[in-house]
Structure 1
């Protein structure tokens, strides 16, 4: 896509002029649609419009210290924020700050997870993912980066699991006891690790995993 140079360059997204903001809005929306064609565009548009119109002085809840968990679990959103600021740089001939990057990253993460920006929920999710990943990798004796390379699908499972934990969204009571008994007998070592993780989640997050969830965790762990 082509971009035009702004007649007035700006160092911060929030210092863009009234005439520049619609162009920024269109640029970001177009990039978002390219990278996330199956996500609800209206949610991102709402969050972005709110950010650009309010000239908010609030700081983003994300910080550079969150980037390890972000890159593990929200790599696509991380790449989008990089691409968006790169496009802005071409548009305005100016470099943008870490603050701008964190705001864009927060907006796209919140949009894709159906969260409200600048709330404690996103930070709670990121911190929870970091804690859960450290525990899991400790049980598996593997680094987070190696786990991502070997079993990226497992990390997706952990992300959705943590979202359910944060929202206290328990699974229905019906359980597949046959699957549970099968993995318990077929993969005893992986099952033991899944049981440790189940106990950890109960202790740290006060959330009880179902037998089905432990069975699925066992299957993922067995592949590691």
Structure 2
């Protein structure tokens, strides 16, 4: 293999016989090298074969701006997530996660920390991904010397969830269709229009996207918790629960998916909140 493009001392791009570009990472792999120089295979620590040329372009641009330690953290986190979940993750996660880590570290230098408004949902519905996110904070600290807050574990968990979603839900039209059907039920049942710029709407739509993903992949959420809270919520948030009943009927008939008590509970709470804020 020979160097096609030199990014920095630790990262180069090569082309295979078919002309497909691959990014190679390794300490000093590009030191005092030039295009068309041969590569010492023993120096290759990581390699990325992007399925789309656009991904290569974005990643190579990103690598020019982000310290190698932050990219190494992203790579290690992705490998840990893949091994822990035993699932293939979308390769684009390397780009988005590296960028997120870099941005978070730069903000932390200015003592600016972003509140994760979805932390509650992430912990509840994606405990495995959140656990990986918590471990990811240790990896980032070890690689970069920067300790990030728990909110960032939630953000990292979302990157992992989205990377799984892009691999498991190929039909993004179907995902959008499910979400729109549910939103229409809420609008007509509760007679509301939503402020699509509000944080409550954003939070609801994010929850709805994850719910729709589980529905389309028939990945049911199970919990050992009792239904005492759901019984209370049914009474206290009667209008919102009537929406949930109609949503349950729709998805049972159209998608052969049955909502667990836990999903009914959180969907009711979300609908109550978004409806209350929209009236």
Normalised to the residue count of structure 2, the TM-score between the two structures is 0.41
Q: Which of the two has greater strand per residue?
A: 2
Greater relative contact order structure (CA < 8 Å, 6+ sep): 1
Q: Which of the two has greater helix per residue?
A: 1
